[in-house]
Amino acid sequence: MSVQNTEYENLVRLLEESSETKVDSGVEILIKRIPDLDSEGDFDPRVLENVKKQRTTEQGSTEKSENNDLDIEAVRAKMGWANKDVTKHEIRTEALIITGRNGDIPIRIYSPVSDSPLPAVVYFHGGGFIGGTLETVENPCKALAEKANAVVVSVDYRLAPENPFPAGLYDCFDAITWVYNHPKELGIDREQIAVAGDSAGGNLATVCCLLDHEQQTNMIKYQALIYPVVNIGDRETEDYKWDIEEYKILHNHELIRSSVYALAGAGPLFNELYLQGVIENSHPHVSPLLAEDLSGLPDTLIITAEYDFLRLEGEAYARKLARSGVKVKLIQYNGMDHAFIDKIGEYPQAEDCMNEIAKGIRSVFNS
């Protein structure tokens, strides 16, 4: 548990109040404005400061090994951010190792104190399918457990390139199955299971929903996708065509454009390491935006960051889900860049994001 400063807590409160709601193509869209900046088309002040610092730090750095191959460990070491615990009540934390079809799967369980069964959220961290850790998302998961009054199970799925597709995906689906089969042990209601994830974890979460529907296991009742990867091949579709002109940039043009393009440059390599020729990048199990039919998927919340390369495909996925009859809500955080939830306790938007996911969970499960 932590003690936040008054300024930070005030910004979190302002985010709740400073939003604009509209409906487009059957999707409810909530735009969250920067809480302490009147102008538009700019980075949030906290993002701007960190982007400038990061640019200075990374000048002259390299991620190549001696034989000029990508240094995976160096890339992994740069992922994540030192964040803060924003919870105000006790959240019990337990580490377990469960058994999946391909061996052991470490998980971490975050549980509020409760005398009755709670909803469950199975969470998958981001990291481009090649990195990310349970530690990076521990504080977001604790916050979600508190705010949603739900048991959150964070999954340490196997990573590429050592374990290419479908290793990580199967670990995630097996973890959901384990949660579904152990309700008493976890103190949950097995009919109230949601999935959530950020970036690559958002991809794994929604593909697990596809598998759940295809296999008719009917375990997942809600999905919350935070700036998800849903079009690994970056293919143009009826809903999607990437264009920098879709980004409203009125200030700090060079910094914002380079930040947006940075993920575009890294993405193809991460995806190649994940797929390794095992499956076409157009397959719905890696690019769910390209699925012919998304009907039958659970109610969905999609979170995007205004200055994230993945924003446009997240919006396209929302529209396609809505056309398939899925109830969808889309929230955009203005001034944010990719991976902003890693900075919970520093970026008020990260905590507000957990607030919004918690609202969705409580609404679906009447909890």
Catalytic residue among 19, 154, 199, 259: 199
**What is the span of the domain harbouring residue 268?**
6-59+87-365
Number of domains present in the structure of the chain: 1
What is the average pLDDT across 325-340?
A: 98
- Asked if residue 80 belongs to a domain, the reply is no
Clarify whether 363 is annotated catalytic: no
Angle between helices 45-58 and 253-275 (to 10 degrees): 70
Answer whether 0.75 is exceeded by the pTM.
yes
Which 8-state DSSP code applies to residue 163?
Answer: S
What does the alpha-carbon distance between residue 74 and residue 213 come to, in Å, rounded to a whole number? 38
Here the CATH number for the domain that contains residue 154 is 3.40.50.1820
- Across the strands, what pairs with 236? none
Say how far apart CA 1 and CA 306 lie, in whole Å: 30
Lowest mean pLDDT among 46-55, 63-72, 118-127, 272-281: 63-72
Residue with tokens 């902003």: 340
φ/ψ (deg, to 5) at 86: -105, 5
Q: Where are the beta strands (DSSP E) in the chain?
A: 19-24, 27-32, 91-100, 103-112, 118-124, 151-155, 188-198, 222-226, 299-307, 328-337
Any domain includes 78: no
Is 68 part of any domain? no
Q: Tell me which of 145-154, 178-187, 208-217, 237-246 is least confident.
A: 237-246
Would you say 159 and 180 are in contact if contact means Cβ atoms under 8 Å apart? no
Q: How confident is the model at residue 65 (pLDDT cuts 50, 70, 90)?
A: low
Tokens of 130: 């090649």
* DSSP state letters, 165-222: TTHHHHHHHHHHHHHHH-HHHHTEEEEEEEEEEETHHHHHHHHHHHHHHHTT-----E
- Decide if 202 is inside a domain: yes
pLDDT-derived band at 67 (thresholds 50, 70, 90) equals very low
In a domain, 69, yes or no: no
pLDDT per residue as tens digits for the range 280-296: 999 999 999 999 999 99
Confidence check: pLDDT of 59 > 80: no
CA distance 257 to 237: 23
Summarised one tens digit per residue, pLDDT across range 112-136 is 999 999 999 999 999 999 999 999 9
